[in-house]
Structure 1
């Protein structure tokens, strides 16, 4: 495995300023992730802070979650280390996507593992890697599919229906049906080429759901399979025992809800004043909490001195909702604003590993942390990776393509290559021909004008027909050139599909299964152990 590093072009968004011009946005965040001293400052701050969490209760919940098939000696050792006063965590999370969703989920887990290892060596204290599974999210359309490269050069959206009768239900409450998943996996097998790893991969994926299992548990089993040996501790945000130790903070979020909302609103205005569009679009009077009512996850809004569901069907006074939080905390869940706050309440967080979108919305939260008596951890960008399979690497060599060209101007390079290898310049040839035809008709129509306006109209109509035929001939000539160089153009298309599908980064679209099928999973372990950088994009040749 060979790794090259590049810096991607800036998008000009808030996340890019955070990564490469931190001083411009420091007032929105606090600690600079590019400076080692930031982690020492954060650790010292955690050491002085009055703990808002119970280590023993948290450890008990983590052990419950890792019972049975999620038990691993390395994970158990890290859970034990978290019990020790002075230990801290590096944490990152993601939605529970089907088969782990896009590849960046795996890269976030690797980032958490690597950063925890680095900071433990630097600080000389236990630093535990933790992965937060966002099991409370209810947008199932975002997690019910994977994309698979098809034989025709297009991506296939392979979808597993996760309908729950149209109800808004958290991913952690969705049960996978073994029969439906089994058929879905068999269809996946038919999409993938036969390899030495295919049968074993499909067997493993099916074994993890031989009986009904929640989507989040299935997700956890896959991550455990890949990263358990590295001691990665996981927790599902929808895990009922975790909810029970979150009750006290839900009460705080309810009691101080208006002030929390005002703090978020003020910082959003700051972000917009700096010229950035707000990464958070909030409902007026949003309580930043959800509540389960009649089996459905409902957004809570403030309504005078009380609270109301977004559909307006249920209302509670402030006192009534505090009682629900105290007695039935499992009915509540967080939104994009309160999830980082809850994470801070539960864990002694040295650093949170985040993606570009998360960096942007965390930029709206510093005042919210302050309102809750907290400070933000060091936000560290997750690593970015593009995998180059062996066929793609071979095609790059045949086309004399550099890594940089893949990320900036692949379509332009394709057009340039075609122009260089064409026997004639079709564009120039037909541009000259069109100019000559236009000139001829200008003269001809002018000479026919004494025959009256009808003749002029017929002449103009005839001109359009001739130009259409000329355009048809041009298209046919270009088609013949493409056919002559069909093999090379297919190689360009292969590279685009594998590395920049739809113009997006590979990690945001592709799933692990095509690479597992072709190379097994050893490359994942090697990637977790390789020296990676957090501020450059890694191009990994498999």
Structure 2
């Protein structure tokens, strides 16, 4: 069975490397990417807007130095980005930013070129249910969901850049305080969140303020594409996507076919003949829609309640008059980033790695070299509470990810004063003995009366079902034999593999920051980052 594309790519599977070379691993390739990006300096007019955007954040001498460097020819960038999750969303947001910072440092040291870490704020996205909440790890193990009260979230199509937090953010902050207020560093972290997450602030403003404060010493630079001053710089990319939609989608579809034939799944569906961007017909704060071909020079707005259409001429006219009506998709966003920025490398998670596996034809069509794609840092936080449970249970962190029932059965069998047979072994032994005896007796029975065949089959089926029921009950009894062990396993699994998923994809930062301090925890993440690695590492604050 072929693994997922990111897994195969990280393992160096030739099938994956045929679509996305692992150039990030090789110093010579990194030097080539740096040299190529150094030839594409950032526009001074565009940089002026980015400087103004960053001036709204808390002062950071390191950030100011990085912005000054971006004005100089030859400066390169390491870029990452993420959606605006409530209270920074899952932990991997922090890990992405830290990985971009450490990769930028490494490229600076290797190449001698100024290299700036840049965080692209994905404010154009409209999927509010993905960002209106976060999960908070608990001392008791289970994660608590904290969310904004947005009744229309599922139907929202407007970019999140325009979404105010509203009054319910106060209740969300109180929920955090109620859950984590007793932790040693809670007041420091909760005050940081409370300063940023005000009802009149947008999701993007609050998110940026907090992340900028965490990485002020490292000088992380932020760029928000949802800015009327930047929209004219995006217009050429949207014009390109509209006018060359057919050729681009054809090339991307062929790429998907090749990926599928190699055994990999399509990460982003390619709509035949459609541009890769979105259009907001009702204004810059209105709903955005994909475009599908609907005849000669006419496009339908996918999902529009009235089935509206628009002509190519109208689109190009609006692109000239109000370019902020146009927003990028997951596949078009990288091209916009790398047109604006001297991107030597992009730090991405598994989903983005899969995007880039599809993107080579788009970059080729645009005549732009692809940046290095660098896997983000991956961590599993083992705090003192988790470590104590691991010690008590005699487990390794990897073992905690095994199926729950199998893990409980193994622990019960291992710790029993008398050895208990695993349920599967018991079932095989009982039914195997019966089946062998039935086979032996069946031969003589059928010689006596061939009509007994149906009776033998029914008996075999009845006994198998009865033995399976007995083995299942026995297995559950084994699993639940030690209630203390069961409770500890469930608590540990909730800490390390909540709902069976990697911790970093579910838990937010708040629990760890309230225990260890916002900056202290961030510092530990930075110190543990290994540039250009992508390996899962354990973090033990």
Instruction: Indicate the residue corresponding to 1:285 in structure 2.
Output: 273
Contact 1:175 1:214 in 2 (8 A): yes
TM-score (norm 2): 0.85
Gap runs ≥5 in structure 2 = 446-454
Contact 2:268 2:355 in 1 (8 A): yes
For residues 209-262 of structure 1, the C-alpha deviation after alignment (integer angstroms, 9 at most, x for no partner) is 335011111111111121121000011232332223212322222222222222
For residues 481-535 of structure 1, the C-alpha deviation after alignment (integer angstroms, 9 at most, x for no partner) is 6666322222222221111112211111111011112211202113213452523
Distance in 1 separating the partners of 2:347 and 2:475:
53
Residue 162 of structure 2, aligned match among 168, 173, 178: 173
TM-score (norm 1): 0.85
Matches within 5 A, 1:103-142: 103-142=91-130
- 1:220 equivalent to 2:208? Answer yes
Instruction: Indicate the residue corresponding to 1:5 in structure 2.
Output: none
Instruction: Indicate the residue corresponding to 1:272 in structure 2.
Output: 260
For residues 333-364 of structure 1, the C-alpha deviation after alignment (integer angstroms, 9 at most, x for no partner) is 00111111111111111001111111112111
21 and 431 in structure 1: CA distance in 2 versus 1, 3 angstrom threshold:
closer
478 and 342 in structure 1: CA distance in 2 versus 1, 3 angstrom threshold:
closer
In the TM superposition, residue 274 of structure 1 has moved relative to its aligned partner by 1.4
Instruction: Indicate the residue corresponding to 2:450 in structure 1.
Output: none
Residue 74 of structure 1, aligned match among 53, 62, 67: 62
RMSD: 3.2
- 1:344 equivalent to 2:338? Answer yes
- 1:417 equivalent to 2:388? Answer no
63 and 424 in structure 1: CA distance in 2 versus 1, 3 angstrom threshold:
same
- 1:382 equivalent to 2:371? Answer no
Matches within 5 A, 1:150-169: 153-164=141-152, 166-169=155-158
400 and 253 in structure 1: CA distance in 2 versus 1, 3 angstrom threshold:
same
Matches within 5 A, 1:49-60: 54=43, 56-60=44-48
373 and 283 in structure 1: CA distance in 2 versus 1, 3 angstrom threshold:
same
- 1:363 equivalent to 2:363? Answer no
123 and 489 in structure 1: CA distance in 2 versus 1, 3 angstrom threshold:
same
For residues 427-448 of structure 1, the C-alpha deviation after alignment (integer angstroms, 9 at most, x for no partner) is 5889989999999xxx9xx9xx
- 1:334 equivalent to 2:328? Answer yes
Distance in 2 separating the partners of 1:79 and 1:239:
18
Contact 1:148 1:155 in 2 (8 A): yes
SS in 1 for 2:411: helix
- 1:488 equivalent to 2:485? Answer yes
Kindly tell me the number of residue pairs found equivalent between the two proteins.
510
Contact 1:59 1:80 in 2 (8 A): no
Contact 2:408 2:479 in 1 (8 A): no
Contact 2:2 2:264 in 1 (8 A): no
Distance in 2 separating the partners of 1:467 and 1:371:
64
- 1:300 equivalent to 2:307? Answer no
Distance in 1 separating the partners of 2:39 and 2:475:
75
Contact 2:412 2:481 in 1 (8 A): no
Instruction: Indicate the residue corresponding to 2:501 in structure 1.
Output: 504
Instruction: Indicate the residue corresponding to 1:237 in structure 2.
Output: 225
SS in 2 for 1:287: coil
Contact 1:57 1:245 in 2 (8 A): no
Residue 28 of structure 2, aligned match among 28, 37, 53: 37
484 and 42 in structure 1: CA distance in 2 versus 1, 3 angstrom threshold:
closer
For residues 378-436 of structure 1, the C-alpha deviation after alignment (integer angstroms, 9 at most, x for no partner) is 10111110000101111212222224423556754432121122346275889989999
Contact 2:90 2:508 in 1 (8 A): yes
Contact 1:532 1:538 in 2 (8 A): no
Greater Cα offset, 126-135 or 21-30: 21-30
Contact 1:307 1:316 in 2 (8 A): yes
SS in 1 for 2:276: strand
34 and 57 in structure 1: CA distance in 2 versus 1, 3 angstrom threshold:
same
Distance in 2 separating the partners of 1:491 and 1:82:
51
Instruction: Indicate the residue corresponding to 1:452 in structure 2.
Output: none
Instruction: Indicate the residue corresponding to 2:525 in structure 1.
Output: 527
Contact 2:134 2:147 in 1 (8 A): yes
Distance in 2 separating the partners of 1:130 and 1:432:
61
Distance in 2 separating the partners of 1:437 and 1:39:
65
Distance in 1 separating the partners of 2:522 and 2:504:
14
505 and 341 in structure 1: CA distance in 2 versus 1, 3 angstrom threshold:
same
In the TM superposition, residue 17 of structure 1 has moved relative to its aligned partner by 2.8
Contact 1:31 1:377 in 2 (8 A): no
In the TM superposition, residue 129 of structure 1 has moved relative to its aligned partner by 0.1
